[in-house]
Structure 1
């Protein structure tokens, strides 16, 4: 098939355009190489000369006191005492690090807490969720503990939230000597709960595991106002339905 005159002209124009484009790329590449050589030559000339005397003293630049690092000996050895509820009638005190202060260590912090709270009888020691040692006190002594801690300048207090404390104090008398006592209209006594349990079908009652039965009793005592936070597959739905 023969090309028309117009097609020949178009092909020739395309060929010339491709040659011109290639020539421009070659010129650009050559210019970049030349520029890099000049930069390399510049840095060779800009190298710092070696001092004639190796033992020559280099003048030290004056440091601003604000930019100088703070020595650990200059930091205050303060720590934070975190107070939190750990049972219906007790709370714990856990020593923690305080930003900008040098932490004295767990044992030293517990010793200081013991000295500050020497007038308050502590219950026992426990571990928090992070594995740190904490001392436990009775909830009825919360005010005395807080008053003693506030007298120390080396201890920053992280108190129990006021609303949380009030709620726990309100319901704390429900547990007297380890026994449940109703304190609200919707609460049920252990006797009432046991009576309700006997009304369950025997087949269903026998299929419940001990912890599931205890969860049901827990909810009934509180009139159904509770939170069951077991892991998956342990029968939370079954306890709620029952």
Structure 2
């Protein structure tokens, strides 16, 4: 009869089918320990606890020290490749200390000692040289110090002490001695007697005594002697005394 019927289709949704849950522990159950095995496990545990307790007590009584094998361990030096084949510089040789002394006449009755460097040896310095000389010549009294032309200093001694000073210096192995020439010293030593006594004493064959000098002067013309000034007469005597 022309009637339209709407047919509704009802869709039935069935719940999904899940697989049965699996057990979390898929391994087979372990067998139970026997009484003997339980006793053995307990004994092992007690022994381990005893060892640990003994170790702790030993560490408390004796603090841990560095292992001997680490004491001798040294870190390796990293060498520079640029200087690996370089030849190390040779150390400079250390020269022994030594100095020389120069003995010189500085007045009719005195002489001086001047320290100087020696080639091939280390010079200890002027102050140190004088300090050593004072100890070496402690039995001889120096008069004073004097300035020399080079700007240094020299110690001055009496000419009568020359032999004693020279003997002490020669006995000291670290000092090179430059003596006064013998002829110079011999003449000066004889002249020093005249200087200290205040009167002329001949010391060489050509020297004349004052008596002979006066005798020669008296032979000069009287008029010439009267015209001579005092310093001219002294110069004449000086020349006649020395021949």
Q: TM-score range by the shorter chain?
A: 0.5 to 0.7
What is the aligned length?
A: 161
* Alignment match, 1:153: 173
Q: Against the structure 1 CA distance between its residues 156 and 56, is the aligned structure 2 distance closer, same or farther, given a 3 Å change threshold?
A: same
* Alignment match, 1:187: 208
Match of 1:116 among 136, 156, 163: 136
Q: Tell whether 2:132 aligns with 1:132.
A: no
Q: Against the structure 1 CA distance between its residues 80 and 184, is the aligned structure 2 distance closer, same or farther, given a 3 Å change threshold?
A: closer
Gaps of 5+ in 1: 1-54, 224-242
TM-score (norm 1): 0.53
Q: Tell whether 2:87 aligns with 1:62.
A: yes
Once the two structures are TM-superposed, the CA of residue 97 in structure 1 deviates from its matched residue by 0.9
Q: Against the structure 1 CA distance between its residues 101 and 59, is the aligned structure 2 distance closer, same or farther, given a 3 Å change threshold?
A: same
Greater per-residue helix proportion: 1
Q: Where in structure 2 are the equivalents of 1:1-242 lying within 5 Å?
A: 57-63=82-88, 65=90, 68-70=91-93, 74-184=94-204, 186-189=207-210, 192=213, 196=217, 201=224, 205=228, 215-223=235-243
Once the two structures are TM-superposed, the CA of residue 155 in structure 1 deviates from its matched residue by 1.6
Gaps of 5+ in 2: 1-79
Q: Against the structure 1 CA distance between its residues 204 and 130, is the aligned structure 2 distance closer, same or farther, given a 3 Å change threshold?
A: farther
Give the Cα–Cα distance (whole angstroms) in 2 for the partners of residues 134 and 194 of structure 1.
44
Q: Against the structure 1 CA distance between its residues 129 and 194, is the aligned structure 2 distance closer, same or farther, given a 3 Å change threshold?
A: farther
Instruction: Indicate conservation of the 8 Å contact 1:193/1:220, yes or no.
Output: no
SS across alignment from 1:173: helix
Give the Cα–Cα distance (whole angstroms) in 1 for the partners of residues 146 and 192 of structure 2.
20
Give the Cα–Cα distance (whole angstroms) in 1 for the partners of residues 106 and 164 of structure 2.
18
TM-score (norm 2): 0.52
Once the two structures are TM-superposed, the CA of residue 63 in structure 1 deviates from its matched residue by 4.9
Superposed CA deviations along residues 150-171 of structure 1, whole A, max 9, x for unmatched, are 2323222112223333333344
Please tell me the root mean square deviation across aligned C-alpha atoms, in Å: 3.5
Superposed CA deviations along residues 79-131 of structure 1, whole A, max 9, x for unmatched, are 10111222333221110111122222222211211111010122222233333
